[in-house]
């Protein structure tokens, strides 16, 4: 939602465009997917700066915050490498999206109610009705 962005902690230099935490999380995820291996927070910070330009540079602590938040959501897995943790995605982009889809459809009815689904699955009776409707209406009937 607009207006709920955190006030961009610890950004150095210039006036970078304000970005929401969801957007930052997505950017961090994309960097990790692109890397194809586990990265520590310093490497993520450098990769983000290389990707978005130095003006959008995030502080080390912001990157650590985002990484631990994603780890808490089980989107990332981490293992200790020296003094810091190194992070890698828990699933690749497509796998993650598919898992989120399944999670979305398994949600309680009230959470599903805000999704406007194009079609839902048919009951046997509705399937018969639908087939006869489409057959009767001629061209393009499948």
Residue carrying the six token digits 């607009």:
2
Residue carrying the six token digits 């207006």:
3
Q: Which is nearer to other proteins, 12 or 23 (CB)?
A: 23
Q: Tell me how far apart the terminal alpha carbons of the chain are, to the nearest angstrom.
A: 41
CB of 87 to other proteins, least distance (A): 17
Cα–Cα distance for residue pair 39/81, rounded to 1 Å: 10
Cα–Cα distance for residue pair 54/8, rounded to 1 Å: 15
Q: Which is nearer to other proteins, 55 or 98 (CB)?
A: 98
Q: Which is nearer to other proteins, 83 or 136 (CB)?
A: 136
CB of 120 to other proteins, least distance (A): 7
Q: Encoding tokens for residue 106?
A: 């398994």
CB of 80 to other proteins, least distance (A): 27
Residue ranges binding other proteins (CB under 8 A): 1-2, 20, 22-23, 25-26, 30, 93-94, 97-98, 100-102, 104-106, 109-111, 113-127, 129-131, 133-134, 137, 139-142
Q: Which is nearer to other proteins, 17 or 142 (CB)?
A: 142
Cα–Cα distance for residue pair 95/38, rounded to 1 Å: 18
């Amino acid at each position: 939602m607009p207006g709920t962005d955190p006030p961009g902690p610890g950004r150095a230099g210039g006036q970078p465009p304000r970005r929401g935490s969801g957007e930052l999380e997505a950017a961090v995820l994309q960097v990790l997917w692109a890397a194809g291996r586990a990265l520590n927070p310093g490497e993520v910070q450098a990769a983000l700066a290389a990707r978005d330009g130095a003006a959008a540079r995030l502080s080390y602590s912001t990157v650590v915050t985002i990484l631990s938040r994603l780890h808490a959501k089980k989107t990332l897995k981490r293992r200790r490498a020296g003094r810091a943790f190194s992070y890698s995605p828990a699933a690749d982009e497509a796998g993650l999206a598919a898992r989120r889809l399944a999670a979305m459809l398994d949600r309680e009815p009230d959470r599903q109610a805000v999704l406007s689904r194009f079609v839902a699955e048919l009951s046997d009776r509705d399937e018969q009705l639908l087939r006869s409707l489409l057959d009767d209406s001629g061209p393009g009937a499948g």
